[in-house]
Amino acid sequence: MAGRPTVGILALQGDVREHAALLEDLGARTVRIRRAEELAEIDGLVLPGGESSTIDKLARAFDVRDALVDRLAAGLPAYGTCAGLILLADRLQGGIAGQRTFGGLDVAVRRNAFGRQRESFEAELDVPELGAPPVRCAFIRAPAIEEIGPRARELARLPSGEIVAAEQGVILGTAFHPEQTGERRFHERFLALVARAA
């Protein structure tokens, strides 16, 4: 990484464009990732929201899953939002039959923890690591972190108690979509992790 980082966005399904626009506005170069060989040229990876079981199936169909798991295990910085958080979790609760994650984040995540699409909501969260003002978050058929293992740490929770953001080394995961509300600080934090790993 010479100056401007190259961030891959897993582009099998989900809100790819919103992440790309935000990251490029923050100075990163973005590329869409659909094939294993494309992973070789990136400094970090974003796993966007969408449908986690569909992304899992497509990652296998496009033969990118194993290479992605290997890159994550080797220390590739990654940021997962909503479905991306599910895919980064080491443990999954409420998955469909045969659903697998990529792993990397020592958490257990429950799919659709807040109900179906009609139960989607926005909230303001205090995130001490990011300072003031509160973070405006969109929760769309969102997961929640049910357990955090010793390698990961909590970054944010809702007033009702559900943990909705965690970090482990150069891996960051949020149950919500900051890219949908104009919130930039999580992406800035991710780019700082990318710079640190370089």
Catalytic residue among 82, 137, 167, 183: 82
Token pair, residue 23, equals: 């990251």
Look up 177 and say whether it is catalytic: yes
CA 26 to chain centre: 17
Q: 144-148 long-range CB contacts below 8 Å, 24 or more apart?
A: 144/109, 144/110, 144/113, 144/114, 144/175, 145/85, 145/89, 145/107, 145/108, 145/109, 145/173, 145/175, 146/93, 146/107, 146/108, 146/109, 146/110, 146/113, 147/91, 147/107, 147/108, 148/106, 148/107
Is 82 among the catalytic positions? yes
For the question of residue 19 being annotated catalytic, the response is: no
Let me know: does 156 contact 163? Beta carbons within 8 Å. Answer: yes
The one catalytic residue in 162, 167, 179, 183 is 179
Please pick, among 19, 137, 162, 177, the residue that the annotation labels catalytic: 177
Tokens representing 13 are 């399904």
Q: CA torsion 100→106→112→118, rounded to 10°?
A: -130
Q: Which residue matches tokens 């494309």? A: 38
Active-site residue set: 82, 177, 179
